Chain A
Amino acid sequence: MIVLNGDHVLRESLLSIYDHVDEIVVAEGPVQYWQQRGITTSSDLTNRILDEFPDPDKKLRVIHSQYQEKDQQFSAALSLMTKKADYLLQVDSDEVWTQESITNLKCLLADKRPISVGIHSNTFVGGFDRVITGFEEKTDNFLRVFRWEDGCEFVTHRPPTIQYRGGQMTRGKTHIDSDEARDMYQISMCHYSYVWPSQVKSKIEYYRSKVSMQNCIPDFYESYWLPWTKSTDINEKWDLEKRILGMHEFKPDIRGPAFTKNFVGSHPSSIIDSIDELKNRIQRELKNE
């Protein structure tokens, strides 16, 4: 995991995987973009959560540093691995797993021994009730699980790519795509990605400057996300989405339609346990907007 100012569901994310993995390696800190803005480490509760996370089995290893880009940050996390691993599960700090999904994933890995697995993302927007469709649901939009072998190397974070010894790449060999994983093995993750104002603002700022440049809707936060999130009227939400063919910061001609729909699954237990506080935080932050 790599993280900077990701305290929104970081604890819930770690809790959701803790019992199912041998080791959790985390690289905390800013990439160059944030360093240039004077940021040296997380200023929210991220570091406290990492420091105080209950770790009876001594699985959690954390490095605090500064990185050139996310690729280097991810490599820094991997350098903390001490155990011989057979699979690598990449988890972002806003991604949380249900116990059912991660148990199903473990069964799938044991049964099929795939080289990689795409994971369907239930990408939440403006709260805990609605998720983004369209490209967010595109097959393998999120590659998250990779077979890990001695000598293999994580080449890029976006898209996640592993180079195996002898130049054999991740894609192509007994890969389970995200549709198959979702529909046939009931594996998906909950991605609390556009939920809190602070989170959305920060994400938009970073992507606008570093990744998507001119591909973002300039006033997405103020004119769309904020009124959409504040509204409790389903038709008002629809009217906003009609204007930009969905609810995502990328321009519609770049991403295609990305309308929202009700989430009908179950939230992970770690989210359910703290849902009141997580919702209160949305309201607190909205008051300041």
Chain B
Amino acid sequence: MRNYCALGDTRYLPHLMCLIDSVRSNFTEEYKLHILALDDNVREKISKLRSGNDLVIYSINQVNEDFQIRSIRYSPPSREAISNAHASNKDPGFVQFCWALASCFTHWLMDRIKSSITYIDADIYFFNDIKPFYKELGDKSIGLVRHRIPYLMSSGEFNVGIVHFEFDKFGRAALSKWKSFLVNGQNNYALCFGTCGDQKYLEVIYGIFRDNVAIVDEKFGHLAPWNVTQHKYEDGKILWEDKRQELCYFHFAHFVIESDTSYRASYNNEWIWGDPLKVDSFVNDCYHAYFLSMVNVKKEIEKCD
């Protein structure tokens, strides 16, 4: 059985519910999706609206019993967290905390369930089964995906949207290491790799555990608003560096619903490689599918309130 984990607060409740729906629609292998609800509303709504044996919901109070994790909320936010929070009108300390939680919650969970875990960002939506990811992972202990953009020093090579750790010696060691960077802001790598929350530290993980890392990039197709211009589209497939791939997931970062009939793909035109909605009808169809799913979920939530 596969274990997945994701987390979010009320702002990300619709995203989480869409994620759950897309997992349920597409995954064919037995799984458990572990959700960390960062507030009571998320816990209550998901329990009520998406209950099922495939879900395990954790309250933030459970994770907060680890005071090392809890204390991150009170640490000074990084420059990157401040800038991100400013763009999205959030509390920088909370942004920093959420970034740290990807590694901290995954580690906390692995300590308890003693199994391999794949972390998934809340704003990811699956269009197909995730099986090709594990096929490509093979016998490696850590699975990483690329941003699929020309290299940017600040955000690094790897995207935190999906990160996999096997419950074996290398997977556990890598996850411990990743977490340690986030709980200790003054770690030895902070100056060079602490520039994008938890994300750029994945480069350090790759550097240390290179022989045990699979960069899942050959047959496993994924898109995000920052990389849609780097792909080509053909007969319902995506072409990445001339590799024809089925789209497994789309990382709908910075997706904004403006009304029941309109949406944006960015907070404020921040995608430097262009507007994702002006690239290809394939991409637009993906966005539209997500939009419909989000609108329906939002209505469900409103009804429940």
* Interfacial residues, chain A to chain B (CB-CB below 8 A): 133-134, 179-180, 182-186, 234, 237-238, 241-242, 245-246, 257, 259-262, 264
Contact = CB atoms under 8 A, between A and B. Distances in A.
Interface in B57-78: 64-71, 74
Nearest to A133: B68
B32 interface: no
Contact of A180 (B65, B112, B173, B183): B173
Given A179-B173, A183-B173, A261-B65, A238 B70 contact: yes
Given A179-B176, A179-B177, A185 B169 contact: yes
A264 B111 CA distance: 7
A259 B67 contact: yes
Contacts of A257: 68, 71
Nearest to B66: A261
Contacts of B177: 179, 183
Contacts of A183: 169, 172-173, 176-177
Nearest to B183: A133
A180 B177 CA distance: 10
Interface string B140-177: 00000000000000000000000000000110110011
A262 B173 contact: no
A183 B66 CA distance: 19
7 A-B pairs closest in CB distance: A183-B173, A259-B67, A261-B66, A184-B169, A133-B68, A259-B68, A264-B111
6 contacts: A134-B68, A179-B177, A184-B173, A245-B71, A257-B71, A260-B68
Contacts of A184: 169-170, 172-173
A180 B173 CA distance: 7
B208 to A, nearest CB: 11
Contacts of A185: 169
Contacts of A179: 173, 176-177
B67 A260 contact: yes
Contacts of B111: 264
B69 A261 contact: yes
A144 B294 CA distance: 55
Nearest to B61: A234
From DSSP, what is the main secondary structure of chain B's interface residues?
helix
Contacts of A133: 67-68, 183
B172 A261 contact: no
Contacts of A259: 67-68, 70-71
Contact of A238 (B67, B112, B172): B67
Contacts of A238: 64, 67, 70
Contacts of B74: 242
Given A183-B172, A185-B169, A259-B71, A264 B112 contact: yes
A261 B68 contact: yes
A262 B66 contact: yes
Contacts of A242: 71, 74
A207 to B, nearest CB: 23
Nearest to A183: B173
A9 B218 CA distance: 55
A141 to B, nearest CB: 13
Contact of B67 (A182, A186, A241): A241
Contacts of A246: 67
A179 B209 CA distance: 14
Interface in B168-196: 169-170, 172-173, 176-177, 183
A246 B173 CA distance: 25
Nearest to A238: B67
Nearest to A259: B67
Given A133-B67, A186-B169, A245-B71, 7 more contacts: A179-B173, A183-B169, A183-B176, A238-B70, A241-B67, A261-B68, A262-B65
A261 B67 contact: yes
A183 B112 CA distance: 15
A268 to B, nearest CB: 18
A6 to B, nearest CB: 28
A234 B67 CA distance: 10
A133 B65 CA distance: 13
Contacts of B112: 264
B101 to A, nearest CB: 14
Contacts of A237: 67
- Which of the listed residues A182, A185, A259 has the most CB atoms from chain B within 10 Å of its own CB? A259
- Which of the listed residues A180, A234, A260, A261 has the most CB atoms from chain B within 10 Å of its own CB? A261
Contacts of B66: 261-262
Interface string B51-95: 000000000000011111111001000000000000000000000
A259 B170 CA distance: 26
A266 B65 CA distance: 18
A186 B74 CA distance: 32
Contacts of B67: 133, 237-238, 241, 246, 259-261
A127 to B, nearest CB: 14
A185 B172 CA distance: 10
- Which of the listed residues B67, B71, B170, B177 has the most CB atoms from chain A within 10 Å of its own CB? B67
- Which of the listed residues B68, B111, B170 has the most CB atoms from chain A within 10 Å of its own CB? B68
A264 B65 CA distance: 12
Contacts of A245: 71
A263 to B, nearest CB: 10
Interface in B192-222: none
A183 B74 CA distance: 28
